[in-house]
Structure 1
Amino acid sequence: MPRTVHTEDFQRTTQVKDTEYARTIPCRKVSISAPLHWLALGLNDFIRMPIISAFYGLCFTAAAVAIVQLVQWQGTHLVIMPSLVVYMLIGPFLALGLYDASWEREKGHKPSLLHSMKAIGRNSTSQWAFAVILVVAMIFWMRIAALLHALYPSVQGAPLIDFAPFLIIGSAVGAVIAALIFGISAFSIPLMMERRVDVMTAVFTSFNAVSQNKPAMIVWAFIICAGILVGFATFGLGMIVVMPILGYGTWHAYHETIYKKHHP
């Protein structure tokens, strides 16, 4: 005999445990101006946590300066991509300390440098798995770039029109890959740190949140790219300020966009 359907069947919510593998945690819709709010909150955290900000800012700066120096010493652009792969590998782990500091302030606790450093080891298995995903994606990007180099004019002093296929196709492919990498990484690391979820849950949740908030995330991606460009344009010194602010801002972006654990 068919089961009778009651109204409360549609009103009942089920609490899903964080241990469930490869699920998608719901997200909120945010306005296109939300990234400016995240940036302001990041700046406020930067000012209120000078020691922690300076420590991680100097770490990011040291890595950026090393890349700039390596390119200058080698005298070739061929070392730029491998260096960026290394930077993408260590960057998310350094950012964990910044996320933890913002999280501690959010909870009304007093952030400490030691506590933030311990956050780097929280859920390390999933974090390392995600780092490997980023490295594989960057290597794939490098291989695609090498193939596209065949479109580069072989004649010196070629007219600008001859560069069009290389520039148009290369830019289009690069934009697609960059968008995919940004989509899976925008919220993955803070989610793995706070809720200790598996790497695929973090990736699916991040990509879904970015997809549901395209206008705001395009603005946020532009802010991040502009900040990193400023950092490298100042020979890495600008990273002392830029990276902590962006790190704190990313935490606030995560908490405003992804539903919290106890308030689904």
Structure 2
Amino acid sequence: MTPKTEGSRPQENLAPRPAMPKVNKMTAGDITASLKAGFSDFLARPFMSGFFGLFYAVFGLLFVWCLVWLGKIWMIIPAIIGFPLVAPFAAAGLYEMSRRLQNGEGFGWVDILGVMANQRKRELGWMAFVTLFIFWVWVYQIRLWLAIILKNASFGDFDGFLNTVFFTPEGWIFLAIGTGVGAFLSAVLFTVTVVAMPMLLDRETNFVTAMLTSIRVVTENPVVMLTWAAIISVTMLLSLVPAFLGLIFTLPILGHTTWHLYQRAVTPAEG
């Protein structure tokens, strides 16, 4: 009789781990080339690209209006500053447009919106959760520091809030701590999503692999990716100044550019 070994399983029955994509070394020239390609994609379909920027801008304005209507004056500045954190997920349609333009594929509204709708069945939904969770942490920590540092302040209107934050010693401390924590959260989110979002749309993989690949891209190309993060941050913040309207142009261009930067940072999937 052959003894049976309890709990033993043939190795071939184990699910194979997904192969980690190879990460490329990058230079400043990759950013320049990606920006040119992203701008070219925007010009190829300006109205469709601009739609995603317009939708994002209108949503931002409605979000701020709701805060005013609810009397949450203190949340306006944190929301405006933190709003760009969810931009990578909002750019999913732009990634698909760039993918099709790069491959010479025709497409219309139904094609792009259909791909976006189908992402709810894939791993991109988990990345949306990660993005929104970090945005929630950002808002919560602002509320925490507001209660600790400005606990005796009263904000009857937006002007009163601005006066307290920008023209009192307590407000300066609040700004310094909030800026530091916000910069940390932004760096974390950028690191785990910069190539993870387009990668999940481009190939069949899980969100953990995508995030680990994104982290490797940043850690192996720190100067290049830090430069790209600075370009995104400055551009997005400047776009918020004229009532979010700058996002109509900047969000699509940055979204298309991110796709091409991902293509240069990560080797194509085999097969």
TM-score range, shorter chain: 0.7 to 0.9
- Asked whether the equivalents of residues 123 and 192 of structure 1 are also in contact (C-alpha less than 8 Å), the reply is no
User: Cα deviation per residue 1:75-96 (whole Å; 9 max; x = unaligned)?
Assistant: 613255568878755x445412
Structure 2 letter corresponding to 1:137: I
Q: Alpha-carbon deviation of 1:220?
A: 1.2
In 2: Cα distance, 1:148 partner to 1:250 partner: 33
CA distance in 2, matches of 1:54, 1:158: 34
Other-structure match for 1:5: none
1:131 corresponds to 2:128: yes
2:126 touches 2:207 (CA, 8 Å); kept in 1? yes
Residue 74 of structure 1: how far off its partner (Å):
4.9
Q: Give the CA deviation at 1:224.
A: 1.3
Equivalent in 205, 210, 213 of residue 205 of structure 1: 213
Does the aligned pair in 2 maintain the 1:93–1:120 contact within 8 Å?
no
| Higher alpha-carbon deviation: 162-171 or 188-197 | 162-171
* 1:119 CA drift (Å): 1.8
| Residue 146 of structure 1 pairs with residue 137 of structure 2 | no
Q: Could you report, residue by residue, the CA deviation over 1:124-169 in whole angstroms, capped at 9, with x for unpaired residues?
A: 3311111111222222233333333324585879996666654444
SS of the residue 2:244 aligns to? coil
Q: CA RMSD in A?
A: 3.2
Residues 196 and 163 (structure 1 numbering): CA distance in 2 closer, same or farther, change over 3 Å?
A: same
Structure 2 stretches of 5 or more lacking a match? 1-15, 154-163
C-alpha contact 2:85 2:186 (8 A) present in aligned 1: no
Q: Which residue pairs with 1:120 in the alignment?
A: 116
Cα pair 1:85 1:138 within 8 Å, conserved: yes
Change (3 A) 1:94 1:168: closer
The equivalent position to 1:27 in structure 2, one of 16, 23, 26, is 23
Out of 248, 260, 266, which is 1:252 matched to?
A: 260
Aligned partners of 2:236, 2:216: CA distance in 1, in Å? Answer: 25
8 Å contact from structure 2 (residues 150, 171) kept in 1: yes
Equivalent runs, 1:67-78 vs 2, <5 Å: 67-74=63-70, 76-78=73-75
Match of 1:180 in 2: 188
Q: Is the alpha carbon distance of 1:196 and 1:83 closer, same or farther for their aligned partners in structure 2, counting shifts above 3 Å? A: farther
Structure 1 residues 172 and 240: CA distance shift in structure 2, 3 A:
closer
1:207-248 CA distances to partner (integer Å, 9 max, x unpaired)?
111111111111211221222223211112211111111110
TM-score calculated relative to the size of structure 1:
0.78
What TM-score do you get using the length of structure 2 for normalisation?
A: 0.76
Does the 8 Å CA contact 2:21/2:269 hold for their aligned counterparts? no
Residue 98, structure 1, aligned to residue 94, structure 2? yes
- Give the alignment of 1:29-108 within 5 angstroms: 29-74=25-70, 76-79=73-76, 81=78, 91-108=87-104
Contact in 2 for aligned 1:42/1:247 (Cα 8 Å): yes
What residue identity is the alignment partner of 1:175? A
Partner in structure 2 of residue 216 of structure 1: 224
Secondary structure of the residue aligned to 1:141 is helix
